Amino acid sequence: MSRPRIFIDREEIARKVAVLAARIRADYEGKNPVLIGALKGSFVFMSDLVRALDMPLAVDFISVSSYGNGRESCGEVQLIQDLKGPVQGRDVLVVEDIIDTGLTLACILENLKKKGAASVKVCALLDKPSRRRVPVHIDYIGFTVPDRFIVGYGLDFNEGYRYLPDVCLLEDDC
């Protein structure tokens, strides 16, 4: 496997995480939100964001999939792992690595609505609006990206490339 080309380097990501954390900290001042990471891709971004927030919060994870082993969303979202703790009456911030078609996020938001969250906001490191199939609102966006296949910084292709510290493009997609 060839090494993908850097698209957004780790220093730029760190600066953006700090900016997002400052906005979130201000919006949630005096609150104790639950941050819900969408597994698996969000785990690197979420850990950096949690450290940058430096405020009282809870953390939980949900795992849904619409990709399987391919590059294209199959359009069908499967809940693989639900939340471990309750969110009823809590302020929730969903942390996503990338919003693509919007199908996965819409599924997560519907799940949280059914569970009675007091409020739900969304923070995404990457937004790819050109691929949107369902409308979703994103409250905090790190970077808007073109319709290219992106890996690294927790994002994968067939479970590979998550370890890369930068957001990268696969070489055959350049």
Reported as a single tens digit per residue, the pLDDT across 58-77 is 999 998 876 555 555 556 77
Domain boundaries along the sequence of the chain: 5-173
Q: Write down the pTM of the prediction.
A: 0.90
Q: Is the pLDDT of residue 147 over 80?
A: yes
SS3 117: strand
| Cα–Cα distance measured from residue 154 to residue 111, given in angstroms and rounded to the nearest whole number | 23
What gap in Å lies between CA 108 and CA 104, rounded to an integer? 6
Average pLDDT of the segment spanning 130-146: 96
Say how many C-beta atoms besides its own lie within 10 A of residue 78's C-beta.
Answer: 12
Q: pLDDT digits over 1-23, tens only?
A: 567 999 999 999 999 999 999 99
5-173 topology per CATH: Rossmann fold (3.40.50)
More confident residue, 63 or 173: 63
Confidence of residue 168 (pLDDT cuts 50, 70, 90): very high
Q: Which pLDDT band, with edges at 50, 70 and 90, does 99 fall under?
A: very high
For the chain, what is the mean pLDDT?
91
Residue 71 confidence (pLDDT) = 53
Is the predicted pLDDT of residue 174 greater than 50, yes or no?
no
Q: Which residues are catalytic?
A: 100
